[in-house]
Amino acid sequence: MARLDLNSDLGEGWGGVAVADDAAMLRVVTSANLACGGHGGDTDARDAAVRAALASRVVIGAHPSYDDREGFGRRAMDVPGPVLERQLRAQLETLLDSCDQHGARVSYLKPHGALYSRILDDVDQADAVARIAAEFGLPVLALAGVDGSAIQRACDRRFVDVVGEAFADRAYAADGTLVPRGEAGAVVHDAAVIAARAVRLAHDGVIDTIGGGSVRVSARSLCVHGDTPGAVAIASAVRAALEQAEVQLAPFAPAG
């Protein structure tokens, strides 16, 4: 039986304004990537997401980013490695404080937004992420299907596990990278299409590209974004389709 983790980026609210319906998404997914304050996620949003994840028995991962609230962490930034390392450490410590207060555990690290894409090629920034992962003893969730990425090499040097991730609701380029959000068609919105992509990925290890081809992707975790319109309905359709296709849904990392 195929096995797959289903994750979503959550806890990103700020100043009482919700970005996603965290409580509803946490009833669907098996892992939650919780914002750490860099791009979103203030104390109230973070604490609420931690409590809801615990109630739903969902594994918690850290979702740090560039310090870029204005751009929601989706702007590429030329941050020197040592500076980025300090930013990421501070963000992880913020999430760890929230988790400690509620008896929860952080089980993995997934960089957010532009940083997530940048570390595929940027050796300096990838090294900063790998150093933080090693310091906190966390595996890194990173884009699957990109051979020889900078983050894979940096993590290998520090004996940090890299877990391959795919995206059900994002368009892929022919080289296995994600189509940048600013380009047409970068985000897929049709729930039926997204669900079908998820099933094909789980069973065949293949996902369609924006140009009409396909790429082979070996992923242990599948992301459905929480901040897209209709996110809960999309995630529910994905989960239902995977279960109907006899895919076992389970977190890739231990909860405690």
Identify the domain containing residue 158 by its residue range. 3-249
- Is residue 194 predicted with pLDDT exceeding 90? yes
- Give residue-wise pLDDT tens across range 195-233: 999 999 999 999 999 988 999 999 999 999 988 889 999
User: Please, what sign has the CA dihedral across residues 119, 84, 67, 59?
Assistant: positive
Residue 255 lies in a domain: no
Domain count, the chain: 1
Tokens 């040097």 belong to which residue?
157
pLDDT at position 255, please? Answer: 78
Is 256 a domain residue? no
Supply the pLDDT for residue 110.
Answer: 98
* Nearest CA among 30, 236, 17, 52 for reference residue 141: 30
User: Would you say residue 254 lies in a domain?
Assistant: no
pLDDT by residue (tens digit) across 155-187?
Answer: 999 999 999 999 999 999 999 999 998 899 999
pLDDT digit string (tens) for 17-67? 888 899 999 999 999 999 999 999 999 999 999 999 999 999 999 999 999
* pLDDT score of 256 more than 80: no
In the predicted model, what is the mean pLDDT of residues 87-94?
A: 98
Residue 1 has pLDDT above 90, yes or no: no
DSSP 51: H
Region 80-99: mean pLDDT is 98
Q: Please tell me the least confidently modeled range out of 45-49, 146-150, 246-250.
A: 146-150
For residue 169, which amino acid is it? D
**What is this structure's pTM?**
0.95
pLDDT in tens, 111-144: 999 999 999 999 999 999 999 999 999 999 999 9
Q: What is the CATH number of the domain that holds 230?
A: 3.20.20.370
C-alpha closest to that of 152 among 176, 185, 174, 119: 119
Separation between Cα atoms, residue 50 and residue 110, nearest integer Å: 16
Gap between the Cα atoms of 226 and 232, Å rounded: 7
141 domain residue, yes or no: yes
Residue 183 counted as domain residue: yes
Going by the DSSP 8-state scheme, the letter that residue 37 receives in this structure is: S
Q: With respect to residue 244, please indicate whether it lies within any of the assigned structural domains.
A: yes
Which residues pair with residue 7 across a beta bridge? 31, 223
- Residue 173 within a domain: yes
Q: Is residue 225 part of a domain?
A: yes
